[in-house]
Amino acid sequence: MPQTWDSRAYQQNGAFVHGLAGGVVEWLALQPGERILDLGCGDGRLTLKLMQTGAQVRGFDASPQMAAAARSLGIEVDEGSAERLPYPDAAFDAVFSNAVLHWIREQDAMLAEVRRVLAPGGRFVAEMGGFGNIAAIRVALAAVVARHGHTGLEDNINYYPTPAEYKRRLASSGFQVRRIELIPRPTALGEGGMDGWIRTFRRGLLETLPEALRDRAVAEAVELLAPALRDGEGNWTADYVRLRFIALAPSARP
């Protein structure tokens, strides 16, 4: 099922996403004046940080709500599908993406578009969910919804590849992979805890359930996860694993 987003809930329960992006931004190594596409810019909080380097940054997002939130910060944002980018060939010196690629269904189509809009030798720098990401959360949610007769809802929501798998995919799309790493990152959740995380990052799944079942499903998943992901003081830590890479477009067009 498609994921839907609430920009206010994202700011409340997902602020850690841009707060923990320092590593991938460092790999991007922006230079003043560079033309940058922030692919999946979300609410624009991280895009603003990129703009502060003096680079010319344009945002792009599939969610009208998130795009509107980014525009409210003064960011130029386009909406649409990552598999069909509305830009001419070689429009950008770099394409950047944080915590977005694992939501994209047609990976090869997206990679072809990223390569197309990159200038020769341009770089694609991204961080996404990697193999093993939120494993406990996914198992708990799958068990809970299956208990209520709704099997398979957690299947294929996201794509969490290994470094070897994604390196092959990038290479088959014509990229030269300069660096790729799998990074375990246990992530402290905010005041909303696991309840807020599920309601924000599995909103699409919840919307497929009967309305009367949604709160119960969240509560049961939270209860199931508490022994593993909640400490004695009530603080929640999500079992995140990230995949980060730098890949270069061909230096010359065929």
Q: Is the pTM of this model over 0.85?
A: yes
Decide if 165 is inside a domain. yes
What average pLDDT does this structure show over 89-98?
97
**In b/e form, how buried is each residue of 130-162, taking b as 16+ CB within 10 angstroms?**
beebbeebbebbbebbeeeebeebbeebbbbbe
Element counts in the chain: helices (H) and strands (E) = 11, 7
Q: What is the pLDDT of residues 225-249, one digit of tens each?
A: 999 999 999 999 999 999 999 999 9
Decide if 195 is inside a domain. no
pLDDT at residue 12, rounded to an integer: 53
% of the chain at pLDDT higher than 70: 90
- Amino acid at residue number 90: A
Q: What is the pLDDT of residues 156-189, one digit of tens each?
A: 899 999 999 999 999 999 999 999 999 999 999 9
For residue 81, give both structure tokens.
Answer: 């599908």
pLDDT at 10 over 70: no
CB atoms within 10 A of CB 86: 12
Decide if 233 is inside a domain. no
pLDDT at residue 14, rounded to an integer: 46
pLDDT at residue 2, rounded to an integer: 62
pLDDT at 5 over 60: no
Token pair 């909640």 in the structure block, residue: 230
Average pLDDT across the chain, whole number: 91
Decide if 220 is inside a domain. no
Contacts of 10 (CB under 8 A, 6+ apart): 42, 43, 66, 200
> Are the CB atoms for 236 and 197 separated by under 8 Å?
yes
pLDDT at residue 23, rounded to an integer: 85
Count the domains in the chain: 1
pLDDT at residue 143, rounded to an integer: 96
Q: How far are the Cα atoms of 36, 45, 52, 156, 236 from residue 41, in angstroms, in the given order?
A: 11, 8, 15, 22, 26
pLDDT at 252 over 70: no
pLDDT at residue 16, rounded to an integer: 46
Decide if 228 is inside a domain. no
Q: In what order do the strands lie in the sheet with 35-39?
A: 77-79, 56-61, 35-39, 92-98, 118-129, 237-248, 176-188
Decide if 219 is inside a domain. no
What is the domain-level CATH number for residue 67?
3.40.50.150
Q: How far is CA 239 from the centre of its chain?
A: 15
> Are the CB atoms for 153 and 142 separated by under 8 Å?
yes
Q: Which of 19-23, 114-118, 124-128 has the lowest mean pLDDT?
A: 19-23
Decide if 208 is inside a domain. no
Domain span at 28: 7-134+157-189+239-248
Decide if 29 is inside a domain. yes
What average pLDDT does this structure show over 29-39?
96
